[in-house]
Amino acid sequence: EAGVVQSPRYKIIEKKQPVAFWCNPISGHNTLYWYLQNLGQGPELLIRYENEEAVDDSQLPKDRFSAERLKGVDSTLKIQPAELGDSAVYLCASSRTGTGLYEQYFGPGTRLTVT
Amino acid sequence: AQSVSQHNHHVILSEAASLELGCNYSYGGTVNLFWYVQYPGQHLQLLLKYFSGDPLVKGIKGFEAEFIKSKFSFNLRKPSVQWSDTAEYFCAVRPNRDDKIIFGKGTRLHILP
pLDDT score recorded for residue B28 = 82
pLDDT tens, position by position, A78-89: 999 999 999 999
Contact B48, B58 (CB under 8 A): yes
The Cβ of residue A17 has, within 10 Å, a number of other Cβ atoms equal to: 12
What residues in chain A have their Cβ under 8 A from chain B's Cβ atoms? Answer: 3-4, 40-45, 48, 55-56, 91, 93, 100, 102-109
Q: B28 in helix, strand or coil?
A: coil
* Gap between the Cα atoms of B84 and B63, Å rounded: 13
Contact B101, B94 (CB under 8 A): yes
pLDDT score recorded for residue B55 = 95
- A103 pLDDT band, cuts 50/70/90, is confident
Question: Is A56 in Cβ contact with B99 (below 8 Å)?
Answer: yes
Question: Is B45 in Cβ contact with A106 (below 8 Å)?
Answer: yes
Distances (CA, A) of B15 to A20, A110, B20, B48, B49: 42, 33, 14, 22, 25
- A1 pLDDT band, cuts 50/70/90, is low
- B29 pLDDT band, cuts 50/70/90, is confident
DSSP state, A2? -
* Gap between the Cα atoms of B1 and B4, Å rounded: 10
pLDDT score recorded for residue A96 = 86
- B62 pLDDT band, cuts 50/70/90, is very high
Contact B31, B96 (CB under 8 A): yes
Contact partners, residue A99, CB within 8 Å, separation at least 6: none
pLDDT tens, position by position, A58-74: 999 999 999 999 888 99
pLDDT score recorded for residue A102 = 67
**Measured between CA atoms, how close is A37 to chain B, in angstroms?**
10
pLDDT score recorded for residue A101 = 58
Q: A43-47, A101-105, A107-111: which has the minimum mean pLDDT? A: A101-105
Which of B4, B43, B101 comes nearest A108 by C-beta? Answer: B43
Question: Is A42 in Cβ contact with B99 (below 8 Å)?
Answer: no
pLDDT score recorded for residue B100 = 80
- A98 pLDDT band, cuts 50/70/90, is low
Question: Is A48 in Cβ contact with B43 (below 8 Å)?
Answer: no
pLDDT score recorded for residue A70 = 84
pLDDT tens, position by position, A3-18: 999 999 999 999 999 9
Query: Computed from CA positions of residues A38, B96, B91, A76, in that sequence, does the dihedral angle turn out positive or negative?
Result: negative
Question: Is A42 in Cβ contact with B104 (below 8 Å)?
Answer: yes
Residues from chain B contacting residue A30 (CB–CB below 8 Å): none
